[in-house]
Amino acid sequence: MVQVITSQEDVTSPIVEVKEGSIVTPKGFKAAGVHAGLRYNKKDIGAIVSEVPANCAAVYTTSHFQAAPLKVTQDSIASEKLIQAVVVNSACANACTGDQGLKDAYRMRQLMAEALQIKEEYVAVSSTGVIGEFLKMDKIEEGIKKLEFHHTTEYATAFQEAILTTDTVMKKCCYQATIAGVTVTMGGTSKGSGMIHPNMATMLGYITTDANISSEVLQGALSKVIPTTFNQITVDGDTSTNDTVLVLANGMANHEPLTENHPDYPLFLKLLSVTCESLAKQIAKDGEGATKLIEVAVSGAKTDEEARMIAKQIVGSNLVKTAIYGSDANWGRIITAIGQTETDVNPSSVDIAIGPIRMLIKSEPQGFSEEQAIEYLNQDFIQIFVDLHNGNGAGKAWGCDLSYDYVKINASYRT
């Protein structure tokens, strides 16, 4: 295990990364993933199970066309605010499928509950893949029957593989902190590569923890960290129909319940934030056709919210993204992105730097070495710094460059 430094100043962080950890590292969680035939030769159905019903929190896409599985999951959570299992299929989003799609999503819930012999309302359902196609329920049923659950890395990996679509890598993380005198573990995994421009969630993300925290307090915590983590990534400016982030807390660490007034609540909030930020950045880095991860840090804004808006506008600009792909230090594209935002900006007081290279100071162009800029931009992690000198607000956003391969991938998505 190594210590995680969440910022340059934060050298005494109590959050510890578990390098080989996963969604099954927290006490009481198991996972599974199988190939059911929804895809040609890759795993396509997976599930996470808690030994006991877990308190839960979730956020969803704000798209007007929320997919059927989201409605079923919302119905499950509304029942008792407890979830013991989540079942996920890839290849088919079960979105824009009308009454039949909703029936199929409820049928998935029923099949998972029967397999585990738990209440139907304790099952959450997710789907990802092509929009407008119906689930192959015969294969879903057989796939769920094939699921075998274990708490090993191999089975966590099987789940992670089962939820992928155009992703090129699996996304996972695991962290620990001492809360209320005991070790609390939090594991996470997510999928997402394209159609990433979330508002209240992003693609699919699942977080498990053995912390003892009520669903109400957990929902409040998740709602606080989403705006600065998952909501601050963009790949292509499109919001999916199926975006969901789901957190399960089964309480098996056996500490006193966390409330917002508990002295260790801020540490739990930080633990959740670190987990969400890690997953969000991994999604941004694996954007379809991406070759570089871009981080934009904005300071000196009127408010933190305005700083985040500007950072996301910059990282989401196609002109900025293509310039980064071509290793072109064209800071004029960054200025253009800032100018489009509906925020309070003083046009005569802006600083811009790409990595260590200062290009604009108080809105005055600075001479710089093109060779040094190209050398920096040829790296696979690019940082852009903007100081507006207009307040104390600060925020970050993450995205990726825009390459030829993005077009190739999405031009043949269904074929």
Active site residues: 202
Q: Which residues, including other chains, have CB under 8 Å from residue 327's CB and lie 6 or more apart?
A: 373, 374, 377, 378
Give buried/exposed letters for 35-67 (b at 16+ CB in 10 A, else e).
bbbbbeeebbbbbbbbeebbbbbbbbbebeebb
The C-alpha angle with vertex 354 and arms to 173 and 309, in degrees rounded to 5, equals 65
d(CA 400, CA 360): 23
d(CA 415, CA 410): 10
Instruction: Show the tokens assigned to 272.
Output: 């959740």
Pairing verdict, β 393-400 and 233-234: parallel
Closest among 359, 412, 415 to 386, alpha carbons compared: 359
Find out whether 395 and 228 touch, Cβ atoms under 8 Å: yes
- DSSP labels, 234-289: ESSS---SS-EEEEEE--TT--PPB-TTSTTHHHHHHHHHHHHHHHHHHHHHT-TT
Write the DSSP symbol of residue 133.
Answer: -
d(CA 226, CA 245): 9
- 21, 133, 183, 271, 343 from 255: Cα distances, Å: 21, 45, 9, 16, 44
* 318-325 and 304-316 helices, crossing angle to 10°: 60
The tally of CA atoms less than 13 A away on the side-chain side of residue 145 is 6
Write the DSSP symbol of residue 327.
Answer: T
Q: Is the dihedral of CA 170, 32, 173, 316 positive or negative?
A: positive
